[in-house]
Amino acid sequence: MNITVVGSGYVGLVTGACIAEMGNTVYCVDVDKEKIANLKQGILPIYEPGLETIVSENHASGRLHFTTSLSEAVEQSEVFFIAVGTPPGEDGSADLRYVLEVARQIGDHLTSPAIVVNKSTVPVGTADLVRAAVAERLEARGVDVEFSVVSNPEFLKEGAAVNDFMHPDRIVIGADNEHARQVMSRIYAPFIRNRPRTMFMGIRDAEMTKYAANAMLATKISFMNEIAGLCERLDVDVENVRLGIGSDERIGYHFIYAGCGYGGSCFPKDVKALINIAHQIDFEPKLLQAVEARNEQQKHTLFDKISAHYGGNLGGRTFAVWGLAFKPGTDDMREAPSVVLINSLIAAGAKVRAFDPVASDTARREFPEAWFAEEKLQIVEGQYEAAIDADALCLVTEWKPFRRPDFRALKRLLKTPLIIDGRNQYDTEQIAREGFAYYGIGRKSIA
């Protein structure tokens, strides 16, 4: 099949490359000229395990094309995936301007029957807006081309995106006609040969499914962080509680880790968008508001612990930060807890030396240039280098190399043997034996 994927970010590029890998001809379209020029030379805009290989192989084989011109792609394609961003607007609502712009462009160029598939995460009812936007432009051109709009939300996880796309838990397809269902089934058949997992439903149901999935996962995290807050004040170790409740198969172990809050481009944005959707229909989303509020507070917890330890005097101190990405396996720092921590430390007059295995370049773009010039913030190339003469080590992202560090080396390097563990990675007894002071999340501290 000939397929166009509009938007070449985490979702679009992975979708395009994986669909090309299965023998389809795919046009990846993006408005970002530099991104497309780089992709043509095999330079990827994002870090995702396994992505570089399939992008370069499929590009070399002539199945995967990159272009800034939707019109060039339109003539060749029968299916259009929209995979552009839907960032939060000021009121938290999903900003649909990019999605609708793409829909209008499709309408401007479409000449033969097509299926327009919305993969971006969008509020219930967006398919109707997409349909209207395409139709309006077709009408303006005075042409009558048949097209369907399908909702096909994406469930891949950053850091495991290629694997998730290749081996999906489920494919959700919201469609209102048999032809669209059949075409979508043909596209996804190679990915689910051994595990047929396609769920057909109404278009609005599919749109809601994506928000409900992310809101559920965010709820589990905020729930556990709330329990951690109780544990911390009641002399209970939340890690034991986690093991104790996770063993109940109705609860399970996934997503019940206490920590310094969730970030990323999806959970914060999608919970906010769902709250906004609720408000628009005069429904008070009490639980979702609490999930969001708990998370906002949780992102400040590491700074609060450091500040309390040093009696509020952080001026002139230096702190080592391990992990900048919002989670391991990605270079994405959108809404990352590390950003909240670093901003707070620098605002309090401290300096930060940070290390992340892959997010260094993202971090250099994230923070003000002046901070680097004035050495308020340094991004270093080694995890132990970050610890040199620091007044504490703060673990923010649980990358694997941080899990079993050389504690002796750390103790030698740090000015003060203090560890703030935002992901409960360390065994408190071992930490005590090694002679560190320690604060985790929802567990006893070692002063």
108-112: which pairs have CB atoms within 8 A and are 24 or more residues apart? Answer: 108/71, 108/137, 108/141, 109/70, 109/71, 109/74, 109/75, 110/74, 110/134, 110/138, 110/143, 110/145, 110/147, 111/74, 111/75, 111/143, 111/145, 112/78, 112/145
Which residues participate in catalysis according to the annotation? 266
To the nearest whole angstrom, how small is the minimum distance from the Cβ of residue 67 to ligand NAD?
10
Strand, coil or helix: 15: helix
To the nearest whole angstrom, how small is the minimum distance from the Cβ of residue 125 to ligand NAD?
15
Closer by beta carbon to ligand NAD, 35 or else 317: 35
User: Measured in Å, how far apart are the chain's first and last C-alpha atoms?
Assistant: 63
Contact between 81 and 3 under an 8 Å Cβ cutoff? The reply is: yes
To the nearest whole angstrom, how small is the minimum distance from the Cβ of residue 10 to ligand NAD?
4
As given in the structure block, the two tokens for residue 52 are 């570089």
Closer by beta carbon to ligand NAD, 121 or else 219: 121
To the nearest whole angstrom, how small is the minimum distance from the Cβ of residue 132 to ligand NAD?
17
Query: What secondary structure letter does DSSP report for 327?
Result: S
Amino acid at 108: D
Among residues 203, 61, 20, the alpha carbon closest in space to that of 126 is found at 203
To the nearest whole angstrom, how small is the minimum distance from the Cβ of residue 251 to ligand NAD?
25
Closer by beta carbon to ligand NAD, 29 or else 208: 29
Helix axes 203-233, 126-141, angle to 10 degrees: 140
Spatial strand order of the sheet with 79-82 comes to: 64-67, 25-29, 2-6, 79-82, 114-118, 147-151, 171-174, 198-201
Q: Can you give the binding site for ligand NAD, defined by CB under 6 A?
A: 6-12, 29-32, 35, 83-86, 98, 101-102, 120-121, 154, 156, 158, 265-266
Phi first, then psi, for residue 378 (nearest 5°) are -120, 135
Distance CA 296, CA 275 (A): 15
Contacts of 234 (CB under 8 A, 6+ apart): none
Closer by beta carbon to ligand NAD, 267 or else 426: 267
Closer by beta carbon to ligand NAD, 156 or else 172: 156
Query: What secondary structure letter does DSSP report for 244?
Result: H
- The CA distances from residue 240 to 424, 427, 444, in Å, are 11, 12, 12
Closer by beta carbon to ligand NAD, 103 or else 345: 103
Question: Nearest to ligand NAD by Cβ — which residue?
Answer: 9
To the nearest whole angstrom, how small is the minimum distance from the Cβ of residue 13 to ligand NAD?
8
Q: Is 204 exposed, middle or buried (0-12, 13-18, 19+ CB in 10 A)?
A: middle
To the nearest whole angstrom, how small is the minimum distance from the Cβ of residue 77 to ligand NAD?
14
Closer by beta carbon to ligand NAD, 362 or else 424: 362
